Amino acid sequence: MDAKISAIPRLAAYLLYFYFIVGLSVGIAVGQTYFSADIVDLRKPNNPVLARLYVTKNKRRIEFQPPSGDRALVAHFRPTPPEKDGPEAHIGGYGKAIILNLSDWSSTIIEPEQKMYFQTSWGSPGPSVLYNMYALLQPTNIEDACAEWMRKSESQGWMRRSESQGGSCKKSGNELINGRIAAKYDTFCEGEICNLWIDLKLGTLVKRESKWTSTELRNIHEGPQPSSLFEIPEDYVISIAQLGGIIGRHEPE
């Protein structure tokens, strides 16, 4: 049964760093592509926008929309393998934005309505698996991403599968996704078959299908992004309280 919490332990900073960087095996091969896009839900009527994503060389901004629900931001209390249940704090993302700084591994959660911000070390708390992958999954070699993903993530569970399931990653060709050419990969997400599409030009994830969710990037606009999106407004004040949330079990995405 879920229980309310009023604070998230600082220990979560280290645990989430481990979970996001090692467990998800996001190959942060930051290129020179700058763009913005919407992350949409393909399984809900009218394909609602879950979040807006802004990308620069070494920063990401995710603005969570109402359909993102109460698990858009999460904090894990121990490094539980993704295919097993583990306690986590569910923090509603709506009304919040998070800025990820790849240069110093810091993150800033912004609450525009309150004109407040919460600054912390990387991933304490951070985006859930779904949003994290769209923000950071950039293989160094788009044509042979399997080798990189398998080497870094299989032991941590992201691509883990049973012995009878055979190989856990293969490139199945190129497809058009909303008019853009993307390399399609058949792999495993949290122990189940999933498909990932990597845009050949952007070098980033543009579509993801799993047992639980189906999402993609739409309204992609390439070009420089306003620097103000990745800065804290001068009239905002830092929050002295920890973010609150609901303690629950890990739910695959």
SS3 call for 114: coil
Label residue 241 exposed, middle or buried (CB < 10 Å: 0-12, 13-18, 19+): exposed
DSSP state for residue 189 in the 8-state scheme: E
Flag whether pLDDT at 51 surpasses 90.
yes
147 in Cβ contact with 168 (< 8 Å): no
pLDDT recorded at residue 242: 63
The more confident residue out of 166 and 252 is 252
Q: What b/e readout covers 93-130, taking b as 16+ CB neighbours within 10 angstroms?
A: beebbbbbebeeeebbbbeeeeebbbebbbbbbbbbbb
Q: Phi and psi dihedrals of 150, rounded to 5? A: -65, -45
In a domain, 148, yes or no: no
Confidence of residue 248 (pLDDT cuts 50, 70, 90): low
Instruction: Report yes or no on 97 lying in a domain.
Output: yes
User: What pLDDT does 159 receive?
Assistant: 53
- The answer to whether residue 85 is domain-embedded is yes
> Tell me, what's the pLDDT at 24?
40
Phi, psi of 55 (to 5 degrees): -125, 130
| Contact yes or no for 196/183 (Cβ under 8 A) | no
Binning pLDDT at 50, 70 and 90, where does residue 14 land?
Answer: very low
Confidence of residue 13 (pLDDT cuts 50, 70, 90): very low
Structural domain boundaries enclosing 230: 3-141+213-249
User: What 3-state class would DSSP assign to 202?
Assistant: coil
- Confidence bin at 150 (pLDDT 50/70/90): confident
190 located within any domain: no
Based on the structure, what is the number of domains in the chain? 1
Least confident of 34-38, 153-157, 188-192: 153-157
pLDDT, greater one: 181 or 13: 181
Q: Is the pLDDT of residue 229 over 60?
A: yes
Domain for residue 167, yes or no?
A: no
- Of residues 190 and 63, more confidence is placed in 63
Instruction: Give the pLDDT of residue 63.
Output: 96
The residue count for the chain: 253
Task: Kindly state whether residue 179 falls inside one of the protein's structural domains.
Answer: no
240 or 206, which is more confident:
206
Average pLDDT over residues 176-205: 92
Report the chain's mean pLDDT, rounded to a whole number. Answer: 79
Inside any domain, residue 108? yes
**Do 15 and 81 contact (CB within 8 A), yes or no?**
no
| pLDDT, tens only, 208-226 | 999 999 999 999 999 999 9
Residue 154 has pLDDT above 70, yes or no: no
**234, part of any domain:** yes
pLDDT score of 54 more than 70: yes
Distance CA 25, CA 36 (A): 23
